[in-house]
Chain A
Amino acid sequence: MTAADDQTIAAFRVLHGRVVDAVEHAVHGKRPVVELVVAALFSGGHVLLEDVPGTGKTTLARALAAALGGTSRRIQFTPDLLPADVTGTTVLDPATGQVAFRPGPVFTHVLLADEINRAAAKTQSSMLEVMAERQVTADGVAHPVPEPFLVVATQNPVDLDGTYRLPEAQLDRFLVRVSLGYPDVEHELEVLRPGTAAGDVRQVPAVTTPQEVAGFRQALTAVHVADPLLRYVRALGEATRTDARTRLGASTRALRALVGAAQVRAASEGRHYVVPSDVQRLAHAVLDHRVVLTREAVLEGLSTTDVVAAALEGVDVPRPAAA
């Protein structure tokens, strides 16, 4: 891997700032969350927005799609939603008498999967292939989705009646899980003010193109990650796996996603190398939702955040040291 050149990094830093600013135009006061979502976009991951209704999850997803300048679709997941409603299906064309594939809503740049946990497990699983492989296979034919492809799924952690919990395999497909939370007083007042642009996705400008995003995705993989940092990331994952409170720790895919997100964050700060704080700031967003607690730990009221926090606190961070 060759190191990312300074011009690419500088250009990305500018673009990153523009995208974040554009999204924040509609979503006020949530810049750290927006940065995480944008990091997922540029590192090729997907985003799981988990929060109570009315905190701006859908607005964030739509604003990101608008800033990206590409196509966006929305699927409102319901219990009777079928897999074909998501991925598409093969139909007989009466005009030609041929069987043709009719693409589903996943064939877009930004897919908003609203309340994804309300769909049945079968429908949720239909998302696995497209999220991981970025293609839909129908009748033995692979149909690739456009690049970049970003799934922004939302789920409500409170109202769980009639929902189907996302399987671990699908959770692992999401690069980050973020929560918006309620805005602070100042920004909430701004949102409440009549005539404000907050929440109005139509006013979000398109500041980039899908092609430009796809290009940076490739370039950012060259951001340097030193060996001590790779070992640090692995030690974090090992700590979550050996923690007696966990039934399932962070997977290798999770750690790879953490490294990728850290590369994007480093580039967004104008660096062509990753530093430990990049990893630390992204660890909770990337790892929390991939760790599964034991039954005893759940009964004790612990959360996966506690486990990841313990790993961050216990594992020695690499520091510059003279030999």
Chain B
Amino acid sequence: MSTSTSTSASTAGGVGAQAGRPPGTGPGPAVTSWAVALLLLAALPLSAAFDSPLVLGPLAGAVVVPFAVVALARRLRLPAWAAASATLSLVLVVGASFARSASPALTGTGAGTGMTTVAAWRTTPFGEAAGPVVDAVARLLTAPRPAPVEHVVPVAMLTAVVALAVALAVARGSRARLAPLVGAVVLYGAAQLLTAGAADAGPVAAACVVVAAAGWLLLDGEAVRRGTPEAVLGRAAPGSRVRWRAGGVAGLVVVALVGAAGAGAATAVRGAPYEPREHVTPPRVPMSAAHPVAELARWHAEPDVPLLRVRGQHPGYLSWVTLPDFDGARWAAHLDLRPVGAVVEPALPPGAARGEARAEVELLGLAGASGPPGVWLPSVGHPVSTTAPGALSDADTGVLALAGPDARLPEGLVYELRAHVDVSDVGHAAAAGVPAGEEVARYLELPRLPADLRAYAQAVVEGAPSRLEQAMLLAEEVRTGRELAHDAVSGSSYARVRELLFAEAADGGQVGTSEQFTTAFAVLGRAVGLPTRVVLGFEVPPAEGEEPVVVHGADARMWAEVYFAGPGWVRFDPTPGAATATGLAPDLAAQQVGDVPQDGEDGPAQDLDPAEGGADEDPEASGAPLDESAPGAAGRWAGALAALLGVALLAVPAGLAVARAGRRRRLRTAGVVGAWQHVADAMLLRQGLPAPSRTAPRIADDVARLVDSATGAAAATLARAAEAAAFAPGPASPEGSTWSQAAQVSRALRRSAPWRRRITWWVDPRPLRRR
């Protein structure tokens, strides 16, 4: 037999404690550490929104500093509002300072957009102070994803504010266990929103659930609630400690259920996640690009001039300028350039199956004073990130360009590029239709198209069972019997196309440049309703291992692209002798072409599961590496997590029940003190932890109040006997049937308990941690 001797919760007064009220006990290191750990864990996924792990530093500071300020305020006995005001001021000042220093990269490039209208409030002192913070939010939401680390300011400020609220709640003790959970949910939710669900595939969420459950399970609920109710922070007495003991099993169950529900929801969500950036219009820089056809002729005239050096994974080609607009005489591009990676959906959706290209490009002859005019950077597909400073891209065409006053690319520029590339096989493209509507009108425009060209195109595709076959027939028709001549007369007009297609060889027909073959294909395609555009770019020779390859002038190409609903943009090279006639996987004949969907409808390929698509089946054929971050992986993670939680939900109660039974056996052999402990356990389960000043006889009084006077009298007898055994010298007196008496009291207490407590009565872990 022994007696508890804790002097832990000795209290000290707070400066603002009111008369007649007990002074508060500070939250203690255990609760604070748990709250900080949970918030740090929940803030971890926020770093996925940025391109550098250095962002973890500011985020960790944003969590820790508010707790430190609040702790300092407690020590100095400052009121809560003062601590909150000081921290908020600190956050605002530091945040505004950093936001001001991290000036937007596009400020200097927005001249083309015209005058900027400044809201009236921005001219006020408050606007001047808080304006950079507001701008920082907009910059973050319009920045590439992952965003550069300088955009961390609003995220760090949000983290700090959440941490401050949690720290204050923990210090007050009123919501010491709930507040960290809420704060963690806010931070984790913000991370998922900021990254459109890509911040965490499950492990961090699982860790959060574990840490949260551990806190709910182990932290002494009464101890953390014993904080001062006033708005003045309490101060823990020197030497005091917060005990770790069993918390509410209800809280554990809640945490577990929330975790299981979250995992289930993650499993269920397979569509596109909510994307807050869609509601923000990124800054844009309009730019027009004319067909740099002269450069194509020049490069072919100097075939050995090195233009680029390329290393990495790429589909075998790089585009330079994509030209979607045709006015009957020449190709052009009207571009809306935005920061690379900004979330802007193109007018036509990308292909259902996509690959990812990662390459390092070094500009050689393409840049500098001897290079061609223009600021377009070799790229591919839809760029999502690049290290080229100040690079912008157009969402519809994927054109990558440098913003700035210079009309030429800087010599020796080396940049890394990551881009998404549409990947599709012939089967999917053969079953796909083409879209209709305003979005696609740009790619079908043929002003003043000569009737003979339209009739020629329709004649070529007559009888073709699918849109893909129409395109391939047109390409074959353009290419067959004609000759490529780089020194042929240039031009992209209808007249030049007609000359290529219809004139006799003696009259200058049947011979053309790459530009003219491509234009002919694109025009004929548009004439039969195929959305087309032309691209000036480079074939990249195969590399040997990891060695970089040099792209020369002879590798410059021009090709066309056709848009299919589902597969997206598909390359076609109608030039005679082209190495690759189409970007599709070959062997059309082997495909079983099904019903051809009507134009304006999405083909079945658009509904393809990427896991079953061609990209997964044959990555080599597509020329692009696989995108391994398919949604199925996240689903499997979440499913495994849900299963794990389910097992835990069953195993934990079973283990607790066994442990509780073992405790009862031990108490039964501990004489009258054990019998009283059994009653005390029942009281703990019935109404929670008793106040620290409650003696055993007074707890017995509570039994009488909760059940009836007879049961209370039995409990009082046990309490007195237990006190005698605990505090009197010498051996205890004979105890008789104390255990049966204790068991009766315990049963009576359980009967008087609400049904929720009765359900968890035998598995509630709180008695296991009791002193």
Q: Mark A residues whose CB is within 8 Å of B.
A: 3, 224, 226-229, 231-232, 234-235, 238-239, 242-246, 271-277, 280, 296-297, 300-303, 306-307, 309-323
Alpha-carbon distance between A253 and B21 when the two chains are bound, in angstroms: 27
Alpha-carbon distance between A92 and B489 when the two chains are bound, in angstroms: 149
Residue of A nearest to B725 (CB): A320
Q: Which residues of A contact B10 (CB under 8 A)?
A: 235, 238-239, 242, 311, 314-315
Which one of A301, A310, A321 contacts B23 once the chains associate, using CB atoms below 8 Å?
Answer: A310
Residue of A nearest to B666 (CB): A322
Looking at the assembled complex, report how far the CB atom of A230 sits from the nearest CB atom of chain B, in whole angstroms: 10
Taking a contact as CB atoms under 8 Å apart, the answer to whether B13 and A315 are in contact is: no
Looking at the assembled complex, report how far the CB atom of A5 sits from the nearest CB atom of chain B, in whole angstroms: 12
Taking a contact as CB atoms under 8 Å apart, the answer to whether A244 and B14 are in contact is: yes
Asked if B723 is at the interface of the complex by the 8 Å CB criterion, the answer is yes
Alpha-carbon distance between A94 and B651 when the two chains are bound, in angstroms: 100
Which one of B666, B692, B722 contacts A315 once the chains associate, using CB atoms below 8 Å?
Answer: B692
Q: Which residues of A contact B5 (CB under 8 A)?
A: 227-228, 231-232, 318
Asked if B279 is at the interface of the complex by the 8 Å CB criterion, the answer is no
Q: If the complex has contacts A229-B727, A242-B237, A274-B727, are A316 and B8 also in contact, measured as CB distance less than 8 A? A: yes
Q: Which residues of A contact B7 (CB under 8 A)?
A: 231-232, 234-235, 238, 315-316
Looking at the assembled complex, report how far the CB atom of A232 sits from the nearest CB atom of chain B, in whole angstroms: 7
Asked if B238 is at the interface of the complex by the 8 Å CB criterion, the answer is yes
Query: Can you list 19 A-B contacts (CB < 8 A)?
Result: A235-B10, A242-B12, A244-B12, A244-B235, A245-B13, A272-B729, A273-B729, A274-B727, A276-B723, A276-B727, A280-B695, A310-B22, A313-B11, A314-B22, A314-B693, A315-B11, A318-B5, A320-B676, A322-B1
Residue of A nearest to B670 (CB): A322
Looking at the assembled complex, report how far the CB atom of A83 sits from the nearest CB atom of chain B, in whole angstroms: 39
Taking a contact as CB atoms under 8 Å apart, the answer to whether A316 and B692 are in contact is: yes
Taking a contact as CB atoms under 8 Å apart, the answer to whether A239 and B11 are in contact is: yes
Alpha-carbon distance between A169 and B65 when the two chains are bound, in angstroms: 46
Alpha-carbon distance between A3 and B730 when the two chains are bound, in angstroms: 9
Alpha-carbon distance between A245 and B232 when the two chains are bound, in angstroms: 14
Chain B 452-471 interface mask (CB, 8 Å, partner A; 1/0): 00000000000000000000
Q: Which residues of A contact B694 (CB under 8 A)?
A: 317
Taking a contact as CB atoms under 8 Å apart, the answer to whether B727 and A244 are in contact is: no
Taking a contact as CB atoms under 8 Å apart, the answer to whether B9 and A321 are in contact is: no
Alpha-carbon distance between A224 and B730 when the two chains are bound, in angstroms: 10
Taking a contact as CB atoms under 8 Å apart, the answer to whether A320 and B3 are in contact is: yes
Q: Mark B residues whose CB is within 8 Å of A.
A: 1-15, 17-23, 25, 77, 226, 235, 237-238, 666-667, 670, 673-674, 676-677, 680, 691-699, 719, 722-730, 770-771
Taking a contact as CB atoms under 8 Å apart, the answer to whether B697 and A312 are in contact is: no
Looking at the assembled complex, report how far the CB atom of B682 sits from the nearest CB atom of chain A, in whole angstroms: 14
Taking a contact as CB atoms under 8 Å apart, the answer to whether A320 and B1 are in contact is: yes
Q: Which 9 A-B pairs have the closest CB atoms?
A: A314-B11, A320-B722, A235-B7, A320-B726, A245-B13, A322-B670, A273-B728, A228-B3, A239-B10
Looking at the assembled complex, report how far the CB atom of B12 sits from the nearest CB atom of chain A, in whole angstroms: 5
Taking a contact as CB atoms under 8 Å apart, the answer to whether B692 and A317 are in contact is: yes
Known pairs A244-B23, A271-B728; list 20 more (Cβ under 8 Å). Answer: A3-B730, A226-B729, A228-B3, A229-B727, A238-B10, A242-B238, A244-B235, A274-B727, A275-B727, A277-B698, A306-B20, A314-B25, A316-B4, A317-B692, A317-B694, A317-B695, A319-B726, A320-B696, A320-B727, A321-B3
Q: Which residues of A contact B725 (CB under 8 A)?
A: 320
Looking at the assembled complex, report how far the CB atom of A282 sits from the nearest CB atom of chain B, in whole angstroms: 14
Alpha-carbon distance between A312 and B1 when the two chains are bound, in angstroms: 25
Q: Which residues of A contact B670 (CB under 8 A)?
A: 322-323
Q: Which residues of B contact A276 (CB under 8 A)?
A: 695-696, 723, 727
Q: Which residues of A contact B1 (CB under 8 A)?
A: 320, 322-323
Taking a contact as CB atoms under 8 Å apart, the answer to whether A243 and B693 are in contact is: no
Q: Which residues of B contact A228 (CB under 8 A)?
A: 3-5, 726-727
Q: Which residues of A contact B667 (CB under 8 A)?
A: 322
Taking a contact as CB atoms under 8 Å apart, the answer to whether A319 and B23 are in contact is: no
Q: Which residues of B contact A309 (CB under 8 A)?
A: 20, 22
Residue of A nearest to B720 (CB): A275
Q: Which residues of A contact B2 (CB under 8 A)?
A: 321-323
Alpha-carbon distance between A8 and B694 when the two chains are bound, in angstroms: 30
